[in-house]
Amino acid sequence: MLQEILEQSLTQKYPIGMRHAEGDRTFRYSLAAGDITAMKAAHQGAAPTEVNTAAVEYAAGTYEVTILDTTVRAINYYRDGYIWIMVAGDYRMYKIKSSAAGAGVSVALTLAEALVVTVPASTWCTAWPNLYSGVLGTTTGFMSMICVALIDITSAYYFWGQTWGPCFGTSMGVIPGLTSGQRDVFFNSDGALIAGDDMSLDTTVMQRAGFIISNTTGGGDQFYMLQLSP
């Protein structure tokens, strides 16, 4: 491999979001938008861009759409992301194949699938960049976990984020598996693990991380089956 699992790189060596399976674990090639702590889940930090398309009509069958975007964007900021276009009576989500650079006015997108219907000028839409292009290690209840970094990651570096398989986590409060019958684990807002029966926290609204793997008859354990993206 050009970049090992336990290695970060300032230079991009694979496409963002590339899937790599190694034994019973799955990883996604990711870009850190902030420093990330090892063995804690990290957030997908990019917010949706809720805007209109540019003021021209887009014919059914075309692969090109331009959206208004007042933020300066690097080339391919939206590559392998998605766009949802709201045309009366027809709501569609399309995969974004590539995107041009944007100077703070608009961004031209090339879609992976052709438009199914004609899109009128100035049509409301929402665009999302690649899921793994803005990964953050932070504490917030407004972002979902996207992967787990196995080493400390420096902001603006590329890394392999684990998304599935046997993993180890930092517990918050009660160690998962201490109680008989308690197997599911959840993510705290900082990426640490929460036992499913921790009554001090409302796990009914928290993101599920997976389940404890090992026999915990003699005590809890943080060895769990991560279940984000297979």
- Give the three-class secondary structure for 201: coil
Whether residues 138 and 124 fall in one domain: no
Task: Say what the pTM is.
Answer: 0.91
- 183 within some domain: no
* pLDDT(199) > 60: no
pLDDT, tens digit, 9 for 90 and up, residues 120-156: 999 999 999 999 999 999 999 899 999 999 999 999 9
Whether residues 67 and 113 fall in one domain: yes
| Local structure of residue 116 (DSSP, 8 states) | S
pLDDT of residue 42: 97
User: Please, are residues 26 and 20 in contact by the beta-carbon 8 Å criterion?
Assistant: yes
Whether residues 123 and 53 fall in one domain: yes
Q: Between the CA of residue 204 and those of 42, 180, 190, 197, 208, what are the distances in Å?
A: 20, 19, 17, 10, 9
Find where tokens 């640490």 sit. Answer: 192
pLDDT, tens digit, 9 for 90 and up, residues 22-72: 999 999 999 999 999 999 999 999 999 999 999 999 999 999 999 999 999
* pLDDT(218) > 90: no
Given 128, 149, 182, which residue is the final one in a domain? 128
Q: Is the dihedral of CA 70, 71, 72, 78 positive or negative?
A: negative
Q: Between the CA of residue 127 and those of 80, 142, 155, 181, what are the distances in Å?
A: 11, 18, 24, 42
* pLDDT(202) > 80: no
| Local structure of residue 32 (DSSP, 8 states) | B
Whether residues 82 and 143 fall in one domain: no
CA geometry: angle 189, 29, 16, nearest 5 deg: 105
- 35 within some domain: yes
CATH of the domain at 101: 2.40.30
Whether residues 37 and 77 fall in one domain: no
189 CB contacts (<8 Å, ≥6 apart)? 139, 140, 141
CA geometry: angle 75, 147, 91, nearest 5 deg: 60
Whether residues 102 and 149 fall in one domain: no
- 208 within some domain: no
Mean pLDDT, residues 89-96: 95
Whether residues 53 and 161 fall in one domain: no
- 54 within some domain: yes
Whether residues 139 and 78 fall in one domain: no
* pLDDT(205) > 90: no
Number of domains within the chain: 2
pLDDT category at 200 given cuts 50, 70, 90 is low
- Residue 147: give the domain boundaries: 19-46+133-165
User: Please, are residues 142 and 47 in contact by the beta-carbon 8 Å criterion?
Assistant: no
Whether residues 155 and 53 fall in one domain: no
* pLDDT(201) > 70: no
Whether residues 60 and 101 fall in one domain: yes
Mean pLDDT of the chain: 94
pLDDT category at 206 given cuts 50, 70, 90 is confident
pLDDT of residue 207: 93
pLDDT category at 203 given cuts 50, 70, 90 is low
